[in-house]
């Protein structure tokens, strides 16, 4: 059962990486236009648009939850909850081009609320890191695995605001502007959080 779940997660991660690459390969103007159009359709109450939103963003939001430390079952629940919140609050979205960061902000709030409600009852375990190429020498892989485990543990211990900053920018690949919007803070504040987070991680990971 555990192997099957792991295999499913690997498939989801592969699909997520492909979707990210496709998004990066497309023109920024085209992507913004698509977001704007999708937001307009969502505001009009179009059910097909809601299904399209899930198709585009489900894997991203699921891995966002996993990288914040939620287990697979909880991540699925929180991902679904995030989309329900987005559907019911779509009228609050002022700029369709900001759909990406707006959805991440909702997901971040859903995650934060879950941690508050379940403080001490759910064990955080960061997932979603890239694995080293299996063709590398065993000695290299052993060192990498040790450092990766140190990084996972250090990231899991960060205060939620600092952890969120690292995940949004470095693991979800949001720009500083998008990540700051998703976190609900000014860019200067977000950069400060990033600096503090990286400084702490450097101290803890040798």
Host domain of residue 194? 132-206
Distance from chain centroid for Cα 25: 20
Query: CATH code at 51?
Result: 1.10.1740.10
Quick one: 53 and 146 in the same domain?
Answer: no
Boundary residue ending a domain (123, 146, 180): 123
pLDDT one-digit tens code per residue, 126-171: 554 554 444 555 555 455 556 667 778 888 889 999 999 999 999 9
- What is the distance between the alpha carbons of residues 195 and 206, in angstroms, rounded to a whole number? 18
pLDDT one-digit tens code per residue, 55-102: 999 999 999 999 998 999 999 999 999 999 999 999 888 888 889 999
pLDDT at 74: 93
pLDDT at 184: 93
Query: CATH code at 153?
Result: 1.10.10.10
pLDDT at 117: 87
Quick one: 136 and 119 in the same domain?
Answer: no
Quick one: 15 and 94 in the same domain?
Answer: yes
- What is the distance between the alpha carbons of residues 83 and 59, in angstroms, rounded to a whole number? 12
Boundary residue ending a domain (78, 100, 123): 123
Boundary residue ending a domain (88, 123, 158): 123
CB crowding 55-84: b at 16 or more within 10 Å, else e = ebbbbbbbbbbbbbbbebebbeebbebbbe
Which of these ranges, 74-78, 97-101, 180-184, 191-195, has the smallest mean pLDDT?
97-101
Predicted confidence band of residue 120 (pLDDT cuts 50, 70, 90): low
Quick one: 77 and 156 in the same domain?
Answer: no
Q: What is the mean pLDDT of residues 4-18?
A: 47
pLDDT at 152: 80
Count of the separate structural domains present in the chain: 2
Quick one: 101 and 119 in the same domain?
Answer: yes
Quick one: 162 and 179 in the same domain?
Answer: yes
Alpha helices for the chain (secondary structure H): 2-25, 28-43, 47-67, 72-88, 99-117, 138-157, 160-166, 176-183, 187-204
pLDDT at 2: 47
């Amino acid at each position: 059962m555990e192997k099957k779940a792991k295999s499913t997660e690997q498939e989801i991660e592969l699909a997520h990486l492909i979707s990210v690459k496709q998004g990066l390969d497309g023109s920024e103007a085209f992507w913004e236009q698509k977001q704007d159009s999708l937001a307009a359709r969502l505001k009009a109450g179009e059910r097909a648009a809601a299904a399209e939103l899930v198709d585009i963003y489900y894997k991203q939001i699921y891995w966002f939850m996993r990288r914040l430390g939620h287990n697979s079952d909880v991540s699925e629940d929180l991902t679904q909850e995030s989309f329900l919140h987005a559907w019911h609050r779509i009228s609050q979205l002022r700029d369709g081009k900001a759909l990406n960061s707006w959805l991440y902000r909702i997901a971040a709030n859903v995650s934060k609320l879950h941690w508050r409600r379940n403080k001490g009852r759910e064990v955080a375990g960061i997932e979603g890191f890239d694995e080293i190429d299996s063709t590398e020498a065993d000695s290299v892989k052993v060192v990498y695995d040790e450092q990766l485990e140190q990084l996972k543990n250090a990231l899991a211990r960060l205060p939620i605001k600092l952890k969120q900053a690292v995940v949004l920018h470095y693991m979800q690949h949001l720009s500083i502007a998008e990540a700051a919007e998703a976190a609900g803070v000014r860019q200067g504040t977000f950069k400060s959080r990033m600096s503090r987070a990286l400084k702490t991680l450097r101290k803890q990971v040798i």
